[in-house]
Amino acid sequence: MTDTATISKGSDWGYAPAPESTDHIRLKDRYGLFIDGKFTPPASGKYFKTINPANEKVLAEVAEAGEKDVDRAVQAARKAHDKVWRKMSGRERGKYVYRIARIIQERARELAVVESMDGGKPIRESRDVDIPLSAAHFFYHAGWADKLSYAFPGKKVSPVGVAGQIIPWNFPLLMVAWKVAPALACGNTVVLKPAETTPLTALLFAEICQEAGLPDGVFNLVTGAGATGAALVKHPDLDKVAFTGSTDVGKAIQKALAGRGTKLTLELGGKAAHIIFEDATIDQAVEGIINGIYFNQGHVCCAGSRLFVQESVEEEVIAKLKARMETLIVGDPLDKNTDIGAINSRAQCDRINDYLKIGVEEGAELFQTRCSVPGKGFWVRPSFFTKVAQSHRIVQEEIFGPVLAIQTFRTLNEALEKANNTPYGLSGGVWTDKGSKIFKVTRGIRAGVIWANTFNKFDPTSPFGGYKESGYGREGGRHGLKPYVELT
């Protein structure tokens, strides 16, 4: 008798656990600030804890930077800019940036595991998306360092100076790369503040800068929460501020900088329209919907969080979507089978659950998968709402979780009108067999990035950024160099 003959239909066909090993991870109990090339304690002596959101265990204590520390970091960055980095040839600067890229590749496995432990994202994503893209951003920008005069022909290109950069918790190391790589390649020095729930890969990045022999003070790291970020923005000696995060904090930063010459770029929230036409390849489109909203637990500013399905294929799309969603595995982020990891923090989990309640109260119909979730940690099952109206809060506001709002449309113009009925303008998506429809939709939606027959694809050569309340300025590509150069 062969093995297959013994398999009964009632067998449990679930995947066996496939946990990534953590044996090679050596986290310190306590991390200081990284200022002028050295790890140093904060002036206040205060530390905060960063936890693993999948089991609520403390991973390490991290220094809380106050005004004095921020000032020290900005002074170090100023000195390094004026005395060393600005004067160095692009070719020499490029060598350091290449070196950083290579060390990220060498330490990729460690970085991926720490990213998943600190922030809750599935190892498959940190291993295959976050870390390789972070290295790619450094490689790409290293290549620009000695070619800036080709990027801006006929212009004299100089660095802007000292950049204060504040990043969120959804793509911790990748946001370090998006911010730091163009800044350094263009001759600027940096004071970076990572998010308070995910500081660990930024701290490992500081170690990487040491390993690369980056001159002291070129990259400085101040850890802490919103108050540390506000202290950085307030510092009078910054030439440039770059922020990625919520629209509310973006607006507060814009106000704080009003009347100052400090340059500012903002990459804020989104509520992307994802449009499926009846002529699309429905099975592929369903994969696109899944990737659009359930990638990284939906903690994605460009997530396809508003789905518009042409009325004639509504039933088919929803039936296939439900079936596909039931196969999604929610659980241990370090398990290689996991599709959806832990929600980044208790606060974010509460926000998402509040929106689930709001949606039901507004009269929408909620669907959630039946998968099991672990007892400890922060989890939300993949969810969507149907019977939603344009005015519903779940349609207008960024939820930043695995929650999709589904609407239908009859004509292309109706789809465009609904898609643009949002305060945001970061991204969008369209699925159709017809090239002409792709052009009509991509021209008709006011958003910085629009994907056609795919979603959530990123590349360092491609500029990323928004319109309206999604912010301004671009990151990536030649456009992304602009905020970091003075052209004369």
CA quadruple 344, 346, 350, 356: dihedral sign:
positive
Q: How far is the CB of 350 from ligand NAI (least distance, A)?
A: 10
> Would you say 217 and 77 are in contact if contact means Cβ atoms under 8 Å apart?
yes
Contact residues for ligand NAI (CB under 6 A)? Answer: 166-168, 170, 193, 195-196, 225-226, 229-230, 233, 244-246, 249, 252-253, 268-269, 301, 348, 351, 398, 400
Any bridge partners for residue 48, and if so which? 62
Please classify residue 86 by burial: count the beta carbons closer than 10 Å to its beta carbon, then call 0-12 exposed, 13-18 middle and 19+ buried.
middle
Amino acid at residue number 213: G
**Is 302 marked active-site?**
no
Q: How far is the CB of 62 from Mg ion (least distance, A)?
A: 9
The pairing of beta strand 33-35 with beta strand 30-31: unpaired
Continuous segment of H or E residues that includes residue 429? strand 427-431
- Closest to ligand NAI by CB, 230 or 290: 230
Amino acid at residue number 143: G
**Phi first, then psi: what are they for 240, rounded to 5°?**
-155, 140
- Closest to ligand NAI by CB, 233 or 275: 233
Q: Three-state secondary structure along 21-37? A: CCCCCCCCCEECEEECC
Catalytic residue from among 301, 349, 469, 475: 301
Quote the CA–CA distance of 169 and 51 in Å, as a whole number. 13
Catalytic residue from among 125, 267, 398, 475: 267
- Closest to ligand NAI by CB, 35 or 321: 35
Contact residues for Mg ion (CB under 5 A)? Answer: 50, 118, 197
Query: Which of ligand NAI, Mg ion, none does residue 246 bind to, with CB < 5 to 8 Å depending on kind?
Result: ligand NAI
- Closest to ligand NAI by CB, 229 or 444: 229
Quote the CA–CA distance of 103 and 123 in Å, as a whole number. 20
Query: Which of Mg ion, ligand NAI, none does residue 244 bind to, with CB < 5 to 8 Å depending on kind?
Result: ligand NAI
Q: How far is the CB of 465 from ligand NAI (least distance, A)?
A: 11
CA nearest neighbour of 292 among 302, 283, 277: 302
- Closest to ligand NAI by CB, 310 or 427: 427
Q: How far is the CB of 348 from ligand NAI (least distance, A)?
A: 6
| Torsion of the alpha carbons at 186, 188, 193 and 194, rounded to the nearest 10 | 20
**Is 115 marked active-site?**
no
Q: How far is the CB of 475 from ligand NAI (least distance, A)?
A: 11
Catalytic residues: 267, 301
